[in-house]
């Protein structure tokens, strides 16, 4: 699979989801707003990364396409389906070999009371090495497959949001994969508008820091940080409208790329994202 093929799939996914942007604003707003900096949050994005890693390429193309879709909801709670695919490509090679793909699907149940929101989720993840990478690097696939239970609690404090919780991994392969994950973070969304683009969009500054401490890596912490500009529908109210983002991304810690999960990596890059 080439980078161009993944880009075509990303464009098709965006076009398929585009009608949702025409819905009445706020009618499909998520009870638990997606995490800005979590590398494994279902979302649409494409990023160019400079990577420091023992096995990954020094320049990566990282793409994701996914969404959390409400199935049954009321004002304060929601049952949803969350699905996503995350892939990394070797941009240091002319063929842009696919290196790793993570598939993730979950069933989140969320509840909101005033500024406090809770997400309980069962999800499955499986990971796969790219065929071209396996041929060129003579690499062997690790059978990384697991189910996990997640609990996160989030509190909105004016323009700030803090959250924390954890996960317990079960039905796991490899069998020696340790089950505990502690997860927390903080987000900031500028309350006002920084940029006006007429009737096209309004822009504001966003920033976030996400941290995961992983038992399998002796509780080593993976730090993910983003900051940049978020462009939104200027006439929309609530959380149900489209939002584009142009973000600087940084990461250090245990690799968030499934097949390389026991490597330690660091990256810096720029990305474009879309939320519907």
Tell whether the model's pLDDT for residue 55 goes beyond 80.
yes
Q: Is 221 exposed, middle or buried (0-12, 13-18, 19+ CB in 10 A)?
A: middle
pLDDT tens digits, residue range 59-110?
Answer: 999 999 999 999 999 989 999 999 999 999 999 999 899 999 999 999 999 9
C-alpha dist (Å) from residue 21 to 26, 186, 271: 11, 27, 21
Q: What's the pLDDT at 172?
A: 93
Q: Are strands 264-275 and 160-173 parallel, antiparallel or unpaired?
A: unpaired
Determine the Cα–Cα distance for residues 180 and 264; give it in Å rounded to an integer.
18
Q: What is the pTM of this model?
A: 0.86
Q: How many CB atoms lie within 10 A of CB 260?
A: 23
C-alpha dist (Å) from residue 258 to 65, 138, 235, 271: 16, 18, 40, 20
Tell whether the model's pLDDT for residue 5 goes beyond 90.
no
* Dihedral angle computed from the Cα positions of residues 32, 265, 65 and 104, in that order, rounded to the nearest 10 degrees: -70
Structural domains in the chain?
Answer: 3-275 (2.40.230.10)
Determine the Cα–Cα distance for residues 126 and 208; give it in Å rounded to an integer.
27
**185 near 211, Cβ under 8 Å?**
yes
């Amino acid at each position: 699979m080439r980078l161009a093929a993944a880009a075509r799939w990303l464009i098709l996914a965006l076009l398929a989801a585009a009608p949702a942007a025409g819905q009445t604003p706020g009618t499909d707003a998520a009870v638990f707003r997606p995490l800005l900096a979590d590398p494994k949050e279902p979302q649409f994005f494409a990023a160019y990364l400079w990577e420091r890693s023992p096995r990954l390429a020094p320049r990566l193309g990282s793409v994701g396409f996914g969404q959390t879709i409400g199935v049954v909801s009321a004002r304060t709670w929601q049952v949803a389906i969350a699905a996503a695919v995350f892939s990394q490509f070797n941009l240091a090679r002319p063929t842009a070999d696919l290196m790793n793909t993570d598939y993730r699907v979950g069933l989140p149940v969320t509840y909101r009371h005033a500024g406090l929101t809770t997400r309980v989720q069962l999800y499955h993840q499986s990971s796969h090495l790219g065929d071209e990478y396996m041929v060129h690097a003579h690499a062997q696939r690790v059978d990384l497959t697991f189910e996990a239970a997640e609990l996160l609690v989030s509190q909105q404090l004016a323009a700030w949001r803090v959250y924390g919780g954890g996960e317990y991994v079960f039905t796991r392969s490899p069998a020696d994969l340790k089950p505990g994950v502690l997860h927390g973070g903080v987000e900031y969304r500028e309350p006002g508008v920084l940029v006006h683009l007429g009737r096209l969009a309004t822009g504001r500054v966003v920033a976030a820091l996400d941290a995961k401490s992983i038992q399998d890596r002796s509780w080593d912490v993976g730090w993910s940080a983003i900051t940049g500009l978020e462009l939104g529908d200027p006439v929309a109210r609530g959380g149900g409208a489209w939002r584009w983002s142009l973000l600087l991304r940084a990461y250090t810690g245990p690799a968030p790329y499934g097949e390389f999960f026991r490597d330690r990596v660091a990256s810096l890059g720029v990305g474009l994202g879309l939320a519907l």
